[in-house]
Amino acid sequence: MIHRSVSCVAVLLLLVQPLHRAGAQAVTDDAQRLVGAFAGDTPLLRDLQSLTDGVGGRATGSMANARAVAWALARFREAGVDAKAEPFTMPVKWLERSASATIRGDGVEFTAAVAAMPFSAPTPAAGTTAPLLDVGYGKKEDFERLGASVRGAFLLVQQDELRDVDGLFREYAESAQIEQRAFAAGVAGVVYMGSRPYNTLYRHNVSIGAANTRPMLVMEHDAAEKALRLLRSGTRLTLTERIDIDGGGAYQAQNVIGEIRGATKPDEIVIIGAHLDSWDLGDGALDNGANVAMIIDIARQMKRLGLRPARTIRFALWNGEEQGMVGSFGYTKTHAAELDRHVMAGSVDIGCGRINGFFTGGRPEILPAVARSLAPVNGLGPFTQIDAPIVGTDNFDFMLHGVANLVANQESALYGQNYHAHSDVFAKCDPQQLRLNAAITAAVVYGFATMDVPWHRQTRADVEALMKRTDLEQQMRTFNLWDEWASGTRGRR
């Protein structure tokens, strides 16, 4: 640990670059003090350990999630940061109690470890049994090959190993298409071969969310591969699934919002957020405990150093993210009257890999502000902004409301393989990189809370224009979010 701290200090001291612009000197000095703070022995890693090992996996609606809310409020308050839990409505409850699978054929019987996909339907206690069919990769021609035989069957989908964040977005896009074909053909359910190494299980949302009515599973890789080999050598198989779900209707969950009030423009707001909830198989370290701990530490260090930027900063720990970014959606409803004065809403949600820039949402007018805010940490670069809208985390509803939004773009590191998986635990996070990411994020937040900015909140027409000139609509369809926007239930009217 000492080694890590020392090298961290060295890196930060070398890389914090002095600026010599006379008028901005005080602000620059403050930004540098803030950035330098993360080289010290702050409680960042202790917090991450206590959230992951202590509270553990914390799906929204679970007891662990309620403990996580209390944990986060206590961390903010111990640091002297004002904080409150803000309620919002979750549309449905979905938690897996148990899931199992047995595969049988002529002279063959074996069980396979499985995870129910979020929004999977339960089965009767005795299970549901149906023929298991090889649907290959689930492409159009695979369905044509199987024809009417898929009706009432479980379809086993082959998958390649997932290695990085790009692979993850590909997996989401492909499964949305596979499920569209499968549901239209009247299948009993879909079973995905696990795409992670070492038979690791994980949760992958059913693409149509709470509208789903079928049992849906991810099966450990080796058992799924065995079943495919048997099917391909002519053995007919059936699958018996038993899925028990703790489900229900709408209920209340809570975001945790810490706040440092602005010194001269307190009514203008900058948000930096990460989601507090995680899936439950692992401990939610990379997704997204690491960035929760980071955001708490940024608030803590600002308070400790007595920094008061011009604008109010809200440190948002969202809930309900994994079920459709429901907590940040709830915030945009609760704070609708303030959204004109939200200058920027940032999210960090890609684990502990190096932050190498930001997604800036297809708004070139904010690029100069990002570059200026990164000046105190330029030595931790290079940083490259990608000026495109991105769907998949808690910037989304701010984007639909026309609020300038950023998402930290990070190297995949160990994020892809461990995403939503058993293996997303404390040891997967690189502690030194997390400290450097804290310095980068702190610089950006402080910059946006301090500098003069030229942009305004976009109108609905502006957001529609953004959709026309980018692939935003397609991304929203992949994540089952298009209809809510089109019907006016989500986003700026």
Please give the residue ranges that form the binding site for Zn ion (CB under 5 A). Answer: 287-288, 349
Q: Report yes or no: 94 and 118 within 8 Å, Cβ to Cβ.
A: yes
For residue 132, give both structure tokens.
């298991």
Minimum gap (Å) between residue 6 Cβ and Zn ion: 32
- Residue 51 · residue 69 · CB < 8 Å: no
Q: Using CA atoms, how far apart are residues 448 and 368, in angstroms rounded to an integer? A: 11
Nearer to Zn ion, 96 or 349 (CB): 349
Question: Is 64:279 a contact under the CB 8 Å cutoff?
Answer: no
Cβ-based nearer residue to Zn ion, 122 or 389: 389
Which of 121, 288, 291, 266 shows the shortest CA–CA distance to 190?
121
Least gap, CB of 419 to Zn ion (angstroms): 8
Whole-number CA gyration radius for the chain: 23
Nearer Cβ to Zn ion, position 142 or 394?
A: 394
Question: Judged by CB, which is closer to Zn ion: 31, or 165?
Answer: 165
Specify the residue, 34 or 408, whose C-beta has the smaller distance to Zn ion: 408
Measure the N-to-C terminal CA separation of the chain; round to a whole number of Å: 51
> Using CA atoms, how far apart are residues 99 and 489, in angstroms rounded to an integer?
34
- For Zn ion, the closer CB: 349 or 473: 349
Least CB distance to Zn ion at residue 247 (A): 22
Alpha helices in 155-204 (DSSP H): 165-184
Nearer to Zn ion, 320 or 376 (CB): 320
180-202 CB burial, b ≥16 within 10 A, e <16: ebbbebebbbbbbbbbbeeebbb
- The nearer residue to Zn ion, 93 or 275, going by C-beta atoms, is 275
**Least distance from Zn ion to the Cβ atom of residue 294, Å:** 13
Minimum distance of Zn ion from residue 287's CB (angstroms): 4
Q: Among residues 325 and 449, whose Cβ is nearest to Zn ion? A: 325
* Beta strand ranges found along 319-449 (DSSP E): 342-347, 355-359, 405-410
Measured from the CB of residue 224, what is the shortest distance to Zn ion in angstroms? 25
**Lookup: tokens for 350:** 């890609």
Residues with Cβ < 8 Å from 378, sequence gap 6 or more?
Answer: 15, 17
Task: List the one residue out of 116, 152, 112, 117 whose CA is nearest residue 132.
Answer: 152
Burial of 438 (0-12, 13-18, 19+ CB in 10 A): buried
Cα dihedral 456/460/461/465 (nearest 10) = 90
Please state the closest distance from residue 349 (CB atom) to Zn ion, in A. Answer: 4
Contacts by residues 484-487 (CB-CB < 8 Å, ≥ 24 positions apart): 485/400
- Closer residue to Zn ion, CB minimum distance, 150 or 201: 201
- In the complex, least distance from residue 104 CB atom to Zn ion, rounded to whole angstroms: 37
Min dist CB 290 to Zn ion, Å, is 10
User: How far is it, in rounded angstroms, from Cα 150 to Cα 401?
Assistant: 42
Distance of closest approach, residue 48 Cβ to Zn ion, in angstroms: 15
